[in-house]
């Protein structure tokens, strides 16, 4: 039937990904330990296929499928492209790390691909059910990935924490969804949005909103639902941390937009106040506690929390510019986090984890080039012009100032000044301290190349930030 | 090209700048020869074109040029431009500056021959020439200030040219700091001009003096001050710094730490006269303020007499000339105060030539003496250095105002002008400038006799190597000696008796003292002077010097013993250095230290920076305790967060819960 064919065509990238992931799963079963490299190549090809299908089937207009549960729009396509791209980078960074450690190689890639599928579904969600479906597919993949190191106590512990807390959060999200469904009688986000105004002052509706927000906040790792973030980031193998810390943030952003903007925009004045509280708490806790960390993964975890607070500022502005700035922030953060966690992997040698801040001491003597790359990344994270991170912060602050919340913008600036301390501390360690370990780094060529491109992009795109910014502005047309 | 005057003006300033840039940045590449050729070429172009401009405006009587070449910025209706105002006053300054500069450039080839900083030196003096030309050609206050600061900067760089010498560093810092005091007043004055006139363009400002002249301002309630007086005095404070007037004179003698060519160029002939030039340029403002003129006259008088007295006790040959410069600058300032601007500029011009000559001659002596500058170890040099001796004699005669020499015409005009002036303080000034004539003659010929006559007091080694300096040194001496003799007689008629400066200098009819002068041509003026007080005083000074230093050398020592208290006062330079160093500088340093210790270290570093950092750090250590690692803590935190959000944000919820509690 042509109709069902059109609908399938809209979901073609997901279908291709599902098919190729299953292929990777089966091939991985049969390849020998020596030729595991095939799994990696197939996984990359799967992402490439997704990338190509996304571009090939992009229609440019919003259309939905499967009884209004699945939507294909410019926002979704852009986010999916970035998800595929960043996962591809993660896979490359992870390759050598996984090979030299007792971590199941094939499973990482298969679970990673399933996670991507979950993210893509989440991004394309047009109903509460699809949101939940995608979220759970992503979460379950990630629980399993954290637990991949079965023999590691910390990995198992953090997997357990992640799973239990994730289950609680899922429960809350579902509970909230059920209330919204109860009030509006619909699971479709578009329908909910039309009916939500009728129930604006309804106590049950507000209950539902708060519970849904808790679900979103947990996914992002926003305060006070952030407790899992440092433990999981630290406990997981660095490759897994890299995965969790990057692309899923894009998916979480999509989830937030789908639920709060596509579904509950009518309650904007209600959720704005809650998001303000969460954003401030996240920036405060994230930046302040990061200072006390001596483990770089943990430090980056708190840094994530603070960045989440920052990007929520863009969302709470509630204007198309605000959403665009939040999306820009998310993409910039993802690019920078890829590089930062990538550097932790790059620094880790065989059987050695460069988790402690001290392992960055004197990096400039060991490898001036990568010290420079790390310097770019840290400056960008701290928001120093002309690096990309500065413009991300700038756009978000601009949108907050535009809705006359100048005090909030000022507060955010104060917190990013506090945050600058621990980013610059890394720079200080790299350039002004002497190395404890004078070995030069052993890095494969592809990693070396990609890492350099990653770091330089943060600098070069910073010199011309409008390229990504235009993408973001285009997907949020002025109402 | 010569038809297009703006191009000529631009070339005059840019040629030395190009030389400075090339010698400064590519000095290594072009080498020593390249450096002096390129800079001398640049300044020579400027000199030739300056002479052409002089001919064009003065002899051919072309109209005054006033136009801008570049608009730097326009802000709130105020235009900041680079522009040129070229009239007869500018033309005179152009010729003086570029000619003396050219002579100094040539002289430097010999004087700095063995110096490792050869290219740097040429770059600096060319840069100085550019700055000075910008200053004198400016048609607005901004560019004037630019040139003012630029010459100050180069002066600083050149005083400290031998930057490994402790004394040179001290001297250039001192010059810099003292000039800051003056420049502070100057920039305030410019700001006041901008505030009350709404423009920094000379023509616009001078055209609207009538509007401002009646206005007053109150800084202290109940004491209204005339705006023009405040502006003029502030601008004059700038001139006091740059032209080393009492009490901001202390830097000039110390500036002699720099190489001799720059003492001649910057600290005698050109830069220090910038203040004089500026006041003359601002005559439309100063004329309207009797108070300001009086201040100018009194300050000038003090400088003219008391700085000359200091020259009597100095033993360093360059310092004698330096104090002489101070004293002559005082004369120029007195003339300004008497509204005899033309006489002041005339003296500026003649002084530029004979003082540059004296400095360069002193430099020539210093070369021959192997950089020995103490006159007590010289003597009898006339046998060894004929040209230096004769040119020095010419310079000294010009300086003391011997009739027919250039200095005579300018100095006598000033003295006459003061005699006719009615500015408050004029009678005191007249006495002082007359006394100054005697003092000038005394110290000048003391130096002359000590250096060129009498017994040879140098050591054997130095005496064996005494010989005349090379032609690059003696040529400028001769070239400067000629105008030192003739230029006074040549220009006295148009400048003093005629209307040479035209509209460039504005004098109120009531103040026009120069109109009362007796003589009407140069011969008459010189012959008439022979029996007058200034001539007799100068003669007396020379004879006293001759008696004390040739006939009976015991007299000075006897005087020093008998008059020990005044002698000590002079030796200690009236204790001004002590006052500044131990009171003002010490107070400033003490204040800085207190603010540093309390404000910076304690408050900013201690409380604001480290204090906040420490408290954030403490907060961080405390907050991380919450992250206990226990799963149930985490879950509890989530539930707690949820409940707080519910209670705070769900409207009516808390009320209903309270009601529920009450029912149960």
* Chain A CB contacts of B649 below 8 Å: 206, 210, 270, 273-274
d(CA A316, CA A274): 9
Interface test with A, best of B635, B639, B640, B644 (most A CBs within 10 A): B635
* Chain A CB contacts of B627 below 8 Å: 227, 230-231, 289
pLDDT digits (tens, 9 = 90+) for B145-200: 999 999 999 989 888 888 888 888 888 888 898 898 899 999 999 999 998 888 88
What does the DSSP assignment read for A107-175? HHHHHHHHHHHHHHHHHTB-BHHHHHHHHHHHHHHHHHHHTT-TT-HHHHHHHHHHHHHHHHHHHHHHH
Q: Global pTM?
A: 0.64
* Burial category of A437 from C-beta neighbours within 10 Å (exposed 0-12, middle 13-18, buried 19 and up): middle
DSSP letter at B272?
G
Closest listed residue to residue A472, CA positions, set A202, A250, A313, A285: A250
d(CA B326, CA B305): 9
Provide the token pair at B171: 């001297």
The CA distance from A177 to the nearest CA of chain B, in Å, is 15
What whole-number percentage of chain A has pLDDT above 70? Answer: 99
Closest listed residue to residue B382, CA positions, set B395, B391, B373, B372: B391
Is A293 part of the contact surface with chain B (CB cutoff 8 Å)? Answer: yes
Cα A414 from chain centre: 24
The whole-number average pLDDT for the span A252-277 is 92
Closest partner residue to A165 (CB to CB) among B623, B634, B645 is: B634
Is A453 part of the contact surface with chain B (CB cutoff 8 Å)? Answer: no
| C-beta separation of B358 from B399 below 8 A | yes
């403490």: which residue's tokens?
A: B618
Domain of A242? 3-475
Indicate the Cα dihedral angle B255, B261, B264, B270, nearest 10°: -90
- Which of A23-32, B264-273, B420-429 is predicted with the least confidence, judged by mean pLDDT? B264-273
The whole-number average pLDDT for the span B410-432 is 89
Q: Where are the alpha helices (DSSP H) in B338-453?
A: 341-368, 386-400, 406-420, 426-452
The answer, yes or no, to whether residue B261 has pLDDT greater than 70, is yes
* Chain B CB contacts of A418 below 8 Å: 616
Closest listed residue to residue B136, CA positions, set B156, B150, B157, B153: B150
A281: nearest CA partner in chain B: B641
- Which of A297-301, B222-226, B585-589 is predicted with the least confidence, judged by mean pLDDT? B222-226
Please give the interface size between A and B, counted as residue pairs whose CB atoms are below 8 Å apart.
83
- What confidence category does residue B133 fall into, taking pLDDT thresholds of 50, 70 and 90? very high
* Chain B CB contacts of A218 below 8 Å: 638
Provide the token pair at B134: 């910008």
Interface test with A, best of B649, B653, B657, B659 (most A CBs within 10 A): B649
The reply to whether residue A274 touches residue B634, judged by beta carbons under 8 angstroms, is: no
d(CA A408, CA A467): 28
Strand partners, B279: none
pLDDT digits (tens, 9 = 90+) for A111-153: 999 999 999 999 999 999 999 999 999 999 999 999 998 888 9
pLDDT of residue B2: 60
* Chain B CB contacts of A211 below 8 Å: 642
Instruction: Mention every residue, 6+ apart, whose C-beta is less than 8 A from residue B608.
Output: none
The CA distance from B663 to the nearest CA of chain A, in Å, is 20
Give the number of C-alpha atoms closer than 13 A to the C-alpha of residue A72, restricted to the C-beta side: 22
d(CA B454, CA B448): 10
Tell me phi and psi for residue B72, to 5 degrees: -75, -55
Provide the token pair at A261: 């903007």
Closest listed residue to residue B417, CA positions, set B357, B298, B331: B331
d(CA A77, CA B341): 82
Closest listed residue to residue B344, CA positions, set B485, B200, B500, B238: B500
* Chain A CB contacts of B648 below 8 Å: 277
The reply to whether residue A289 touches residue B645, judged by beta carbons under 8 angstroms, is: no
Strand boundaries in B121-271, DSSP class E: 216-218, 224-226
Is A273 part of the contact surface with chain B (CB cutoff 8 Å)? Answer: yes
* Chain A CB contacts of B651 below 8 Å: 201, 203, 206
pLDDT of residue B395: 92
What does the DSSP assignment read for B115-136? -TTHHHHHHHHHHHHHHHHHHH
B637: nearest CA partner in chain A: A224
The reply to whether residue B620 touches residue A292, judged by beta carbons under 8 angstroms, is: yes
What whole-number percentage of chain B has pLDDT above 70? Answer: 99
* Chain B CB contacts of A227 below 8 Å: 627, 633-634, 637-638
User: A71: helix, coil or strand?
Assistant: strand
- Helix %, strand %, coil % for chain A, to 5? 80, 0, 20
The answer, yes or no, to whether residue B1 has pLDDT greater than 60, is no
| Most confident of the following: A168-177, B409-418, B576-585 | A168-177
User: B192: helix, coil or strand?
Assistant: helix
pLDDT of residue A284: 93
């600096």: which residue's tokens?
A: B124
d(CA A315, CA A306): 15
Closest listed residue to residue A66, CA positions, set A8, A14, A141: A8
Provide the token pair at B372: 């020995």
**End-to-end Cα distance, chain B:** 106
* Burial category of A138 from C-beta neighbours within 10 Å (exposed 0-12, middle 13-18, buried 19 and up): buried
The answer, yes or no, to whether residue A351 has pLDDT greater than 70, is no
Q: Where are the alpha helices (DSSP H) in A318-360?
A: 320-347
| C-beta separation of A258 from A125 below 8 A | yes
Domain count, chain A: 1
Work out whether strand B65-75 and strand A63-65 pair parallel, antiparallel, or are unpaired. Answer: unpaired
The answer, yes or no, to whether residue A31 has pLDDT greater than 80, is yes
Burial string for B353-385 (b: 16+ CB within 10 Å, else e) reads bbbbbbbbbbbbbbbbbeebbebeebbbbbebb
The reply to whether residue B620 touches residue A277, judged by beta carbons under 8 angstroms, is: no
| C-beta separation of A129 from A103 below 8 A | no
User: B79: helix, coil or strand?
Assistant: strand
Preceding amide of A386 cis, omega within 30: yes
- Helix %, strand %, coil % for chain B, to 5? 75, 5, 20
Q: What are the C-alpha distances in Å from B211 to residues A253, A418, B77, B194, B510?
A: 68, 56, 19, 14, 21
d(CA B167, CA B163): 9
The reply to whether residue B634 touches residue A213, judged by beta carbons under 8 angstroms, is: no
Q: List residues of B whose CB lies inside 8 A of any A CB.
A: 613, 616-617, 619-621, 623-624, 627, 629, 631, 633-635, 637-638, 640-642, 645-646, 648-653, 656
pLDDT of residue A391: 93
Instruction: Mention every residue, 6+ apart, whose C-beta is less than 8 A from residue A204.
Output: A179, A182, A183
Closest listed residue to residue B296, CA positions, set B148, B441, B418: B418
The reply to whether residue B641 touches residue A214, judged by beta carbons under 8 angstroms, is: yes
| C-beta separation of B126 from B106 below 8 A | no
pLDDT of residue B164: 86
B624: nearest CA partner in chain A: A289
DSSP letter at B372?
-
| C-beta separation of A73 from A474 below 8 A | no
Closest partner residue to A274 (CB to CB) among B619, B640, B645 is: B645
Instruction: Mention every residue, 6+ apart, whose C-beta is less than 8 A from residue A325.
Output: A314, A317, A392, A395, A396, A398, A399, A472
Mean per-residue pLDDT of chain A: 91
d(CA A86, CA A51): 11
d(CA A140, CA B532): 115
The reply to whether residue A207 touches residue B631, judged by beta carbons under 8 angstroms, is: no
The answer, yes or no, to whether residue B433 has pLDDT greater than 60, is yes
Strand partners, B216: B226
Closest partner residue to A230 (CB to CB) among B627, B637, B653 is: B627
pLDDT of residue B664: 67
Is A276 part of the contact surface with chain B (CB cutoff 8 Å)? Answer: no
Instruction: Mention every residue, 6+ apart, whose C-beta is less than 8 A from residue A8.
Output: A15, A65
The reply to whether residue A165 touches residue B641, judged by beta carbons under 8 angstroms, is: no
pLDDT of residue A479: 54
Give the length of chain A: 479
Tell me phi and psi for residue B371, to 5 degrees: 65, 30
d(CA B397, CA B410): 13
The reply to whether residue A277 touches residue B645, judged by beta carbons under 8 angstroms, is: yes
| C-beta separation of B300 from B436 below 8 A | no
The reply to whether residue B641 touches residue A227, judged by beta carbons under 8 angstroms, is: no
pLDDT digits (tens, 9 = 90+) for A394-435: 999 999 999 999 999 999 999 999 899 999 999 999 999 888
The CA distance from A208 to the nearest CA of chain B, in Å, is 10
Q: What are the C-alpha distances in Å from A379 to residues A373, A383, A417, B419, B590?
A: 10, 6, 12, 74, 40
The whole-number average pLDDT for the span B455-468 is 82
């Amino acid at each position: 039937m042509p109709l069902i064919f059109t609908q399938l065509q809209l979901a073609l990238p997901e279908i291709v990904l599902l098919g190729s992931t299953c292929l990777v799963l089966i091939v991985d079963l049969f390849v020998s330990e020596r030729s595991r490299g095939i799994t990696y190549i197939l996984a990359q090809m799967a992402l490439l296929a997704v990338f190509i299908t996304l571009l090939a089937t992009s229609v440019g207009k919003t259309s939905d499928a499967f009884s209004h549960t699945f939507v294909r729009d410019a926002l979704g396509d852009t986010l999916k492209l970035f998800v595929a791209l960043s996962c591809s980078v993660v896979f490359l960074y992870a390759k050598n790390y996984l090979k030299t450690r007792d971590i199941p190689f094939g499973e990482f890639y298969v679970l990673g691909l399933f996670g991507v599928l979950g993210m893509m579904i989440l991004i394309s969600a047009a109903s509460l059910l699809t949101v939940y479906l995608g979220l759970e597919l992503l979460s379950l993949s990630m629980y399993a990935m954290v637990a991949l190191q079965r023999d590691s106590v910390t990995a198992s512990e953090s997997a357990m924490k992640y799973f239990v807390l994730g289950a609680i959060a899922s429960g809350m999200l579902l509970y909230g969804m059920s209330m919204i469904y109860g009030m509006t009688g619909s699971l479709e986000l578009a329908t909910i949005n039309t009916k939500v105004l009728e129930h604006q002052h309804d106590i049950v509706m507000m209950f539902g909103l708060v519970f849904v927000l808790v679900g979103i906040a947990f996914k992002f790792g926003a305060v006070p639902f952030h407790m899992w973030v440092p433990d999981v980031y630290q406990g997981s193998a660095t490759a897994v941390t890299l995965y969790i810390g990057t692309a899923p943030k894009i998916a979480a952003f999509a989830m937030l937009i789908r639920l709060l903007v596509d579904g509950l925009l009518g309650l904007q004045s209600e959720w704005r106040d809650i998001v303000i509280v969460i954003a401030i708490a996240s920036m405060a806790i994230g930046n302040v506690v990061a200072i006390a960390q001596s483990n770089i993964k943990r430090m980056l975890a708190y840094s994530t929390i603070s960045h989440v607070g920052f990007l929520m500022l863009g969302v709470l502005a509630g204007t198309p510019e605000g959403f665009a700035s939040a999306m820009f922030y998310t993409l910039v953060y993802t690019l920078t986090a890829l590089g930062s966690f990538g550097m932790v992997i790059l620094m880790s040698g065989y059987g050695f984890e460069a988790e402690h801040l001290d392992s960055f001491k004197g990096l400039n003597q060991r490898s001036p080039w990568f010290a420079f790359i790390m310097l770019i990344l840290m400056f960008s994270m701290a928001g120093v012009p002309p690096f990309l991170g500065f413009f991300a912060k700038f756009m978000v602050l601009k949108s907050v100032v535009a809705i006359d919340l100048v005090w909030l913008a000022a507060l955010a600036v104060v917190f990013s000044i506090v945050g600058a301390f621990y980013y610059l501390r890394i720079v200080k360690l790299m350039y002004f301290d002497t190395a404890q370990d004078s070995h030069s780094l052993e890095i494969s060529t592809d990693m070396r190349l990609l890492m350099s491109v990653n770091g330089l992009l943060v600098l070069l795109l910073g010199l011309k930030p409008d390229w990504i910014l235009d993408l973001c502005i285009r997907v949020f047309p002025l109402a | 090209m010569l038809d297009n005057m703006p191009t000529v003006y631009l070339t005059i300033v840019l040629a030395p700048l190009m030389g400075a840039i090339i010698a400064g940045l590519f000095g290594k590449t072009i080498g020593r020869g390249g450096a002096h050729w390129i800079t001398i070429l640049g300044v020579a172009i400027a000199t030739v074109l300056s002479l052409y401009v002089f001919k064009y405006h003065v002899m051919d009587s072309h109209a005054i040029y006033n136009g801008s070449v570049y608009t730097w910025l326009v802000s709130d209706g105020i235009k900041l431009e680079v522009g040129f105002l070229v009239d007869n006053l500018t033309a005179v300054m152009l010729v003086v500056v570029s000619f003396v500069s050219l002579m100094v450039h040539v002289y430097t080839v010999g004087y700095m021959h063995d110096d490792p900083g050869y290219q740097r030196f040429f770059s600096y003096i060319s840069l100085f020439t550019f700055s000075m030309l910008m200053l004198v050609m400016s048609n607005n206050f901004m560019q004037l200030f630019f040139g003012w600061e630029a010459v100050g900067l180069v002066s600083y760089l050149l005083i400290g040219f031998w930057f490994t010498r402790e004394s040179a560093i001290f001297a250039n810092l001192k010059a810099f700091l003292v000039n800051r005091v003056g420049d502070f007043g100057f920039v305030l004055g410019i700001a006041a001009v901008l505030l009350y006139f709404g423009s920094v363009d000379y023509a616009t400002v001078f055209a609207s003096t009538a509007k401002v002249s009646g206005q007053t301002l109150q800084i202290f309630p109940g004491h209204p001050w005339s705006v023009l007086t405040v502006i003029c005095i502030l601008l004059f404070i700038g001139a006091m710094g740059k032209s080393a007037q009492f009490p901001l004179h202390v830097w000039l003698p110390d500036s002699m730490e720099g190489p001799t060519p720059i003492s001649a160029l910057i600290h005698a002939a050109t830069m220090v006269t910038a203040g004089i030039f500026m006041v003359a340029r601002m005559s439309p403002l100063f004329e309207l303020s009797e108070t300001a003129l009086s201040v100018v006259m009194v300050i000038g008088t003090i400088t003219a007499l008391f700085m000359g007295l200091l020259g009597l006790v100095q033993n360093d040959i360059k310092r004698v000339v330096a104090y002489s410069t101070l004293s002559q600058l005082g004369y120029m300032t007195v003339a300004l105060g008497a509204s005899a601007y033309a006489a002041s500029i005339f003296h500026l011009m003649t002084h530029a030539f004979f003082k540059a000559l004296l400095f360069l001659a002193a430099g020539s002596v210093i070369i021959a003496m192997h950089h020995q500058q103490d006159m007590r170890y010289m003597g009898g040099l006339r046998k060894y250095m004929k040209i230096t001796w004769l040119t020095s004699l010419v310079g000294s005669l010009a300086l003391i105002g011997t009739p027919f020499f250039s200095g005579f015409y300018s100095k006598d005009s000033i003295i006459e002008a003061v005699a006719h002036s009615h500015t408050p303080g004029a009678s005191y000034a007249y006495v002082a400038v007359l006394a100054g004539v005697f003092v000038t003659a005394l110290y000048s010929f003391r130096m002359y006799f000590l250096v060129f006559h009498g017994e040879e007091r140098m050591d054997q080694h130095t005496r064996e190597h005494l010989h005349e300096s090379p032609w690059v040194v003696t040529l400028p001496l001769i070239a400067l000696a000629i105008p030192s003799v003739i230029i006074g007689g040549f220009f006295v008629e148009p400048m003093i008796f005629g209307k040479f400066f035209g509209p460039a200098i504005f004098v109120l009819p009531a103040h026009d003292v120069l109109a009362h002068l007796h003589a009407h041509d140069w011969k008459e003026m010189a012959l008439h002077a022979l029996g007058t007080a200034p001539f007799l005083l100068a003669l007396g000074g020379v004879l006293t010097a001759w008696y004390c230093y040739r006939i009976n050398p015991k007299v000075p020592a006897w005087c020093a013993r008998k008059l020990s208290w005044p002698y000590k006062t002079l030796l200690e330079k009236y204790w001004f250095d002590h006052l500044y160093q131990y009171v003002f500088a010490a107070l400033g340093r003490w204040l800085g230290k207190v603010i540093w210790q309390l404000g910076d270290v304690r408050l900013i570093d201690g409380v604001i920076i480290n204090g906040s950092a420490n408290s954030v750090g403490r907060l961080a250590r405390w907050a991380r305790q919450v992250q206990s690692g226990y799963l149930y803590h985490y879950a509890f935190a989530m539930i707690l967060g949820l409940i707080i959000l519910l209670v705070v944000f769900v409207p009516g919820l808390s009320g209903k819960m309270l009601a529920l509690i009450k029912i149960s």
